[in-house]
Amino acid sequence: MSGHFFSGNYAPLDTECDIDALPVHGALPPQLRGALYRVGPNPRFAPRDDRYHWFSGDGMVHAFFIGDGKVAYANRWARTPKWQLEDNAGRALFGTFGNPATSDPSVHGKNSGTANTSMVWHGGRLFALEESHQPFEIDPHTLASKGHQDFGGAVDKRFTAHPKADPATGELHFFAYLPDSPDEPNMLYGVLDARCKVSTLEPFRAPYASMMHDFMLTERHVLFPVTPLTISVERAMKGLPLFAWEADKRSYVGIGMRGQPMDTLRWFASDACHVFHVMNAWDDGGRIVAYVMESDTAPGMPNADGSRGNPAGMAARLCRWTFDLESDGDGFERTILDDLAAEFPRIDERYTGRRNRVGFYCCHSEQRVRNGAESVLYDSLACFDFASGTRQLYTLPAGDVISEPVFVARSAQSPEGDGWLLAVAWRAQEGRSDLLVIDATDVAAGPVATVCLPYRIPFGFHGSWRARD
C-alpha cells in the first residue's frame, strides 16, 4: 500500500518555497481578496511499515495569497512534535496512524499528530486540523508553526477535522471521538466562542468505537453519525488494521438539542452505510434534513481481518437523510440524489445549518462512472441545485484531477451561491498544478482565471478561505 501512496501525485514534495507572483491566465475577479489555505499528507520520510496509508502523512500547508490581480504562493510543513522528532532523527519513527506495534520504542506515548486534514479560520486564528489531536496553529501570513492549542486547557486531547461555524452566533462547534481510550466509545461535544474560548464541553457515549470523521449542525440540533468503520487497538496489536470496516454492525445517528445535556441524545439507526463528509443539515419543522456523501463501505479502508475492502461499495454519492423527530421509531430515510460517484462537498457557508439551495462537490464524469471507477481522484466539479434537482458539471481534460472546491462569496450581501469556487487541478500530462477560479453561478463554463504553478501540489484533502484583513 505504501508504494501506491508514494507514486505519481500522491508522492510528497521535499521542498518548501515562496513565489511572489504566479502567472495568471484569464482575469482574476477584483473582489477576490484574501488567502486560500489547503492542507494534505506530505510525509517527511518514507514510512516504517508496508501498511502506510495516505491519511497518516505529515501535514503540508499550501497558501495562495490573492489580491490586486496577483497571486503569491507559499508552502510549509506543519512542524508538529512528530515532525520535529523525525526531522531530528533523520528518519521515520512513528508507525502508520501512530500504531505502537510499528513505531520506534523511543516515541511510544509521544504525540503522533500530523495536522494534515483540514484548515479552519476562526477567531482571527488559523488552524490545521486532524481528528486524533488538538488543533495545530499556523501563522496566516508566514505559515510558521505555532504548535498544538488547548484553549486554556479545555481541549486536552482530540478535536475534529470538521468543526462547524454557526453564521449567526460566530461559534465553532466541534466534537472528539475516543478522547480517553481507543477501546472505549466515549465522545465529546464542544463549542468555541468567537474568541476561541471553550463555552461548552459535554461528554457522551456512542454505540461502539468508530472513526467519526464529520458531523452535522442545524440551528437547533447537533447530529453524530456512527458507522462501522471501527477502531481497535487490540486488533492492531495482533498485526491487523487499527481502523477497519465491520459490515455486520448497524449505522447510527445520535441527535441532540443544542444547549441541552448530551445524555439526552436520541439514536436513530439504519443498515450499515458510511459517511466521511457532510454537506449540510437543517431543521424542517418536526424533521431534520441532511445532505451527505454516502457509500456502502468506507472508501480506502480494509476489513477487520486485514483483507481489502470491497471497491464496488466505496464510491460515495450525494444522499439526503431525513429524520422524523415526531415519530416513535428509530429509523431514518436515505435517498440518493445524484448517481455520480462524488466526494468533498461544500456550500456557501453563510448557510451552514440552514436550508441551502445549492451545493458543490468533486465527482467523476459520466464516462468514468460507466467504467466502474471507484477512485477518489475526481475529474469533475459539480454544482447541484436542490430546488430544481439539476446539476451543472465541469470536467477537466483526461487524466487531470480536481480538488475540493472552496466557495468565496462575491460580497457579504450577495445571494446564496453568488461567488467563486477555488480548486486546485493536477495536470497529469505536465506534472504540475493550477489554481482554478470558477464562477459558482456558471460552473459548466469552467475557470474565469487559471493560476499556474511551476510544480505540483500533491493530492490533499480540505481547504479554507480567509478574507483579507
Binding-site residues for Fe cation, in ranges, read 162, 213, 277, 462
Please classify residue 379 by burial: count the beta carbons closer than 10 Å to its beta carbon, then call 0-12 exposed, 13-18 middle and 19+ buried: buried
| Nearest of 102, 100, 97, 142 to residue 116 by alpha carbon | 97
Task: Let me know: does 175 contact 202? Beta carbons within 8 Å.
Answer: no
**3-state class of 209 per DSSP?**
coil
CA dist 382 and 379 (Å) reads 10
CA dist 191 and 205 (Å) reads 18
DSSP secondary-structure letter at 303?
B
CA dist 347 and 354 (Å) reads 11
The sign of the CA dihedral 235, 238, 240, 241 is: positive
What value, to the nearest 5°, has the Cα angle with vertex 61 and ends 114 and 37?
Answer: 125
CA dist 188 and 399 (Å) reads 42
Task: Let me know: does 245 contact 301? Beta carbons within 8 Å.
Answer: yes
Binding residues: 162, 213, 277, 462
Radius of gyration (C-alpha) of the chain in whole angstroms: 21
What value, to the nearest 5°, has the Cα angle with vertex 281 and ends 277 and 287?
Answer: 135
Q: Would you state the cell numbers that stand for residue 210, as one nine-digit string? A: 468508530
Task: Let me know: does 124 contact 139? Beta carbons within 8 Å.
Answer: no
Strands ordered across the beta sheet of 186-192: 164-165, 172-177, 186-192, 198-205
Distance of CA 196 to CAs 91, 102, 125, 151, 239, Å? Answer: 36, 36, 9, 7, 40
DSSP secondary-structure letter at 155?
-
